[in-house]
Every structure is written in structure tokens, then in C-alpha cells.
Amino acid sequence: MYLKEFDLDFPYISDDERIQLIMNEKKCQYNDATKLDYELNWKVKRRSLRLETRCITAMYERLFGKLKTEDFWKILVECAEDITDERIMNYSGVSTVQVKFRFEDFSLKSEIDKKRTTLILLMEGIEKISLSKNWDIEPFRVVASQIEELGYLNEWVWKKAVKSPDKNFSAKVMCHHTVENMDIFISIMQRNGTEILLKKVLSELPDEFAYSKHLGELKWISDFEVALINKKGDGMVSVTLNSIN
């Protein structure tokens, strides 16, 4: 088994007082009140944290590669206002650990500070697990240092560049993963590698489940137009060299 995925989560913690109020107001049982409490008071926060931290956790995955392990493929750091369990848990190959966190403080931070905080939280969880596994922490810290040196900018090229039919140009897809969005660009270059066009063609939620559907195939339609076709093959966005003017 190989460790190759990293993520943060904001797991639901029930509040008995709040649930009792819901039970009294809605005239319902505890389980139904708990489900309603999650939908009303927690679900949005949990999704927000997942989306706003994914640019850094995905960047960490990309730079880390993979590590052979005995029994898990993913590290999940649970961000909790109160740590209720100090143990390192393994759920179907997902190694889970809790770290201290306040959602309200995080939500008020600037974009760059959210990125910095995400990396700090992730590394805190990784260090706890590394200590329990007696791992060398240095390879993990090297990746964190790379992210810092890159200014927390998760920008990468999707697949390889493709040449135009007349071989005069090449095009590639650039992905800029931020706290708020995944911005997808098409870049066109001359033979000598000089970029002559960079145009944003899509903006999606910053999560693979949202943006991966757009990344199907990059294909030249003519000598002057290139299109990004979605995975289903039933939609596309394109740019032409006329866009320079």
C-alpha cells in the first residue's frame, strides 16, 4: 500500500443543548434532531473548509508523490475545536488524527493566511502520525518547504502540450488552484516556446470532483483554434489566435 493522499476535515461534533432545543421546537427524536443540526449548523462549514484548504493539500500530494506503507493510503487531519481523541485511528486505510482548530478564526483569514494555516495544520497531523509510526519526518518537511518556496501557488500544467496541425504552434492547459477557485487557462506558444496567448477558459470550485470533468482532451480544431473538450465529449471551450487582437 502507498501513502499518496492528504486532506483536512471538519468532522461534526454534536451539541446536546442545541439538539435538545431542536427536539423541543420540531417535536422530533434525537437522531432526527442531530441530522437537522448537521444540515443547518455544520454542513456548510465542513464543505467550506474542505474547499478552501484543498489547494494546499492537493499541492502537497502532487509534490510528495507516494510512500510505501503497511496499512494506509491517506492521511486525514481532523480539525477540531476540542481534541476528543489523541489516538491515531485507521479507517479502511485512512490514517486519521485530530489537531486543534477554530473555524471562526480560519474563516476571517486572508487567502495567503488560509494557505499558511492549512499547511501548518496538515504538518501538525503528519508529525503526530510520523511520531507514532517512527518515521523520518524530514521528507515530509521537505515538501512543506517546497510549498513555502513556491509562495503557496498551486499552478501546474495538465498533460503535455499539443502541436497545431501546421506545427507552427503548440498549446497546453494551465491549472491555477486557489483557495476560492480552480482557474483553467489555455496557453498557446510559438515554435521557439514564446507564449503568445494565455486565456482563462473555465473557473470551477477548487475541488477535483468539480473541475476534473472539464479535463478530457486538448485538441486543435484548425491551425488557429484549439479546444479543451470535457470528459464526456459533449462540451468544449476553445481559443483562437484571433484572441490576441
Task: Work out the pLDDT band at 106, boundaries 50, 70, 90.
Answer: very high
Higher-pLDDT residue of 27 and 50 is 50
Distance from C-alpha of 72 to C-alpha of 74, rounded to nearest angstrom: 6
Percentage of the chain lying above the pLDDT 90 cut: 84
Q: CA distances (Å), 191 to each of 194, 196, 217, in order?
A: 7, 11, 21
Distance from C-alpha of 227 to C-alpha of 215, rounded to nearest angstrom: 11
Answer whether residue 217 shows pLDDT above 70: yes
Which residue type sits at 152?
A: Y
Locate 129 and state its grid cell.
Answer: 502520525
Domain ranges of the chain: 2-149, 154-244
CA-based Rg of the chain, rounded to a whole angstrom? 22
Side-chain-side CA neighbours of residue 166 (13 Å):
9
Judged by DSSP in three states, 197 sits in strand
Counting every residue written for the chain, the total comes to 245
Distance from C-alpha of 184 to C-alpha of 17, rounded to nearest angstrom: 45
Judged by DSSP in three states, 221 sits in coil
Locate 217 and state its grid cell.
Answer: 482532451
Answer whether residue 245 shows pLDDT above 50: no
Q: What is the mean pLDDT of residues 91-120?
A: 97
> What rounded mean pLDDT belongs to the chain?
94
Which pLDDT does position 7 carry in this prediction?
A: 98
Distance from C-alpha of 18 to C-alpha of 166, rounded to nearest angstrom: 67
Judged by DSSP in three states, 175 sits in strand
Answer whether residue 244 shows pLDDT above 80: no
Which pLDDT does position 242 carry in this prediction?
A: 78
DSSP designation for 232 = T
Higher-pLDDT residue of 212 and 23 is 212
Alpha helices in the chain (DSSP H): 16-26, 30-41, 43-64, 103-107, 111-133, 138-149, 208-211
Q: Residues of 187-208 as b/e, b for ≥16 C-beta within 10 angstroms?
A: bbbeeeeeeebeeebbebebbe
Answer whether residue 120 shows pLDDT above 50: yes
Q: Is the dihedral of CA 79, 81, 84, 85 positive or negative?
A: positive
The mean-pLDDT minimum among 37-41, 71-75, 77-81 falls in 37-41
Percentage of the chain lying above the pLDDT 70 cut: 99
Distance from C-alpha of 85 to C-alpha of 118, rounded to nearest angstrom: 21
Which pLDDT does position 26 carry in this prediction?
A: 83
Answer whether residue 85 shows pLDDT above 90: no
